[in-house]
Amino acid sequence: MSKQDDVYIGAIDQGTSSSRFLIYDKSAKPIGMHYVEFTQFYPQAGWVEHDPMEILESVRVCITKALDKATADGFNVDKGLKAIGITNQRETTLVWSKSTGAPLHNAIVWMDARTTSVCRRLEKELSGGRTHFVESCGLPISTYFSAMKLLWLMENVDAVKDSLKKKDALFGTIDTWLIWNLTGGVKGGLHVTDVSNASRTMLMNLETLDWDESTLKTLEIPPEILPKIISNSETIGNVTTGWPIAGIPIAGCLGDQHAAMLGQACRKGEAKSTYGTGAFILLNTGEEVVKSKHGLLSTIAFKLGPNAPTNYALEGSVAIAGAAVQWIRDSLGLISNANEIEDMALGVESNGGVYFVPAFNGLYAPWWRDDARGVLVGITRYTSKGHIARAVLESMCFQVKDVIDSMRKDSGFSDSEKEEFLLRVDGGATVNNLMLQTQADLLATPVIRPVDIETTALGAAYAAGLAVDVWKEESFFDSKEKLKNANIFRPQMTEEIRKKKADSWLIAVNKSFDLADLAL
């Protein structure tokens, strides 16, 4: 192997249920990877938390093991690693002490619904109700976003209250927590976030790309606890001693869905859907902030450098996608491994009239109903495990269809353009061929799965490699190259059946509303 081949870029991919570290060669091919699952805490119904220290340790283990694997395979990563990028679960919120580095509470996870009362209070107090902040940040008041979680911590956790009084508190999403610790922690750690993660807090102005003073004043959030906002691709700082990659620059940072969009090379007018714990669909709208009239969010796509143009996006977020498969595995015991669901679903010819709406913590886009709860409808004595398995898989596809339908309305797609619209897909659940064929059938549009479905980590690597001149922008926006050897799922369902299934799904969705207090 020649010296010019010893060029590698690393990517930390810190997700909702696991952390991983991947190493890419100069051709953007993965040559080493390790992942670690970590604990999910459910203190109450609708509450979800993570231990920030466990997340930190999982990242450390992943880096160490991935480096070991790559080295054992003959790659000179010790000398060739040029930079790392970071991508992370978005909206997950934590506050920690800048003097001790200790978290003041577990991280509140993006899907956590404990802030419902905070949201209702603000909707009543503020003009415009739920849409009060949409003009500045593109987001409605919702349990989903970081600002609501931060308010809950400020109002309910004594350690946070005391730390705020002492001016010792730091706020951040997971990217900020990782960078602060990787660059020194209490010994000079950098307190930063990137535009994509900041755009999901409800606190950043989409036009200025800075914290919105009016919003901070309204919510009484002290600006000094907030991190500095930077672009997605720039040298942030070097990793401190004590880490296995000490001295390596951190040169890229994006929220997971924005990283996947970059990894999928989505230019203006192109969309991707990532299927993980949830499902997240983003459409690149170019350098224009498009305001949705159909239940979607306006957000950042990416900004590839401090002086680079900002690409914006329309986004629809689905809270429960792959998590529904975990539920029937872990809570119902219908399967012992997530991969078994496809074979179980293929054991029946259809869903048997069964529809499943996984509104465990409410519904996100385009419904925005935090009063919704999960329902399984259409059950008869004929219903089998196979029908339920198929209904669970179909629930992911129906939810994505609801979002894509809204995108078509907001972005002006006409019926004649449907066949030209290609949905790029990625994420762990996309190994399921039945699910992707169902998705193509329900959308009446081709669905494209790339050879490498880990596009989230790839996007973070692209951003870092771009900042240190390992890659040029045009090299990873080569659409023809991206589609080479990809799997294409084309629609096969008749329009009559498609419409009948869509109508039945909407009936089931409506039955999920107004159920939040049913157990009281």
What residues make up the domain containing 376? Answer: 322-414+496-511
Average pLDDT of the segment spanning 117-131: 91
Residue 511, pLDDT above cutoff 60: yes
Give CA angle at 22 (21, 28), nearest 5°.
155
Last residue of a domain, one of 257, 278, 299: 257
Burial class for 440, CB neighbours closer than 10 Å (0-12, 13-18, 19+): buried
Last residue of a domain, one of 224, 257, 290: 257
CA atoms within 13 A on the CB side of 167: 2
Answer yes or no: do 214 and 355 share one domain.
Answer: no
In a domain, residue 387? The reply is yes
Answer yes or no: do 182 and 94 share one domain.
Answer: yes
The CB density around residue 207, as the number of other CB atoms within 10 Å, is: 13
Answer yes or no: do 190 and 328 share one domain.
Answer: no
Answer yes or no: do 22 and 143 share one domain.
Answer: yes
Mean confidence (pLDDT) of the chain = 91
Residue 420 pLDDT grade (very low, low, confident, very high; cuts 50, 70, 90): low
The CB density around residue 306, as the number of other CB atoms within 10 Å, is: 11
Q: What is the CA radius of gyration of the chain?
A: 22
Q: How is residue 261 written in tokens?
A: 């969009």
In a domain, residue 474? The reply is no
Characterize 16-53 residue by residue with b for buried, 16 or more Cβ atoms within 10 angstroms of its Cβ, and e for exposed: bbbbbbbbbbbebebbbbbbbebeeeeeeebbbbbbbb
Q: What is the pLDDT of residues 224-274, one digit of tens each?
A: 999 999 999 999 999 999 999 999 999 999 999 999 999 988 888 889 998
Question: What kind and span of H or E run contains 148?
Answer: helix 146-156
Residue 158: per-residue pLDDT: 96
Residue 103 pLDDT grade (very low, low, confident, very high; cuts 50, 70, 90): very high
Q: Which residues pair with 117 in a beta bridge?
A: none
Answer yes or no: do 239 and 345 share one domain.
Answer: no
The CB density around residue 294, as the number of other CB atoms within 10 Å, is: 17
The CB density around residue 220, as the number of other CB atoms within 10 Å, is: 8
In a domain, residue 102? The reply is yes
Answer yes or no: do 185 and 60 share one domain.
Answer: yes
In a domain, residue 296? The reply is no
Answer yes or no: do 153 and 227 share one domain.
Answer: yes
Residue 518: per-residue pLDDT: 63
Number of structural domains in the chain: 2
For 348-417, the DSSP string reads SSS-TT-EEE--BTBB-TTT-BTT---EEE---TT--HHHHHHHHHHHHHHHHHHHHHHHHHHHT--GGG
In a domain, residue 304? The reply is no
CB within 8 A of 295, min separation 6: which ones? 316, 365, 366, 367, 368, 406
In a domain, residue 337? The reply is yes
Answer yes or no: do 65 and 179 share one domain.
Answer: yes
Q: What is the pLDDT of residues 202-237, one digit of tens each?
A: 999 999 999 999 999 999 999 999 999 999 999 999
Q: Please tell me the distance from the alpha carbon of residue 85 to that of residue 254, in angstroms, as a whole number.
A: 8
In a domain, residue 279? The reply is no
Residue 5, pLDDT above cutoff 80: no
| CATH code of the domain covering residue 372 | 3.30.420.40
Residue 418: per-residue pLDDT: 44
The CB density around residue 416, as the number of other CB atoms within 10 Å, is: 7
Average pLDDT of the segment spanning 486-497: 92
Q: Which residue has the higher pLDDT, 465 or 370?
A: 465
Last residue of a domain, one of 239, 257, 275: 257
In a domain, residue 29? The reply is yes
Q: Please tell me the distance from the alpha carbon of residue 425 to that of residue 429, in angstroms, as a whole number.
A: 10
pTM: 0.86
Burial class for 201, CB neighbours closer than 10 Å (0-12, 13-18, 19+): buried
Answer yes or no: do 115 and 239 share one domain.
Answer: yes
Q: Which residues pair with 172 in a beta bridge?
A: 94
Residue 269: per-residue pLDDT: 86
Residue 162 pLDDT grade (very low, low, confident, very high; cuts 50, 70, 90): very high
Distance set, CA 393 to CA 325, 327, 340, 426, 478 (Å): 8, 12, 12, 16, 32
Answer yes or no: do 327 and 253 share one domain.
Answer: no
CB within 8 A of 236, min separation 6: which ones? 179, 183, 190, 192, 230, 249, 250, 251, 253
Q: Which residue has the higher pLDDT, 387 or 422?
A: 387
Residue 26 backbone dihedrals phi, psi, to 5 degrees: -65, -20
Residue 486 pLDDT grade (very low, low, confident, very high; cuts 50, 70, 90): confident
Answer yes or no: do 33 and 173 share one domain.
Answer: yes
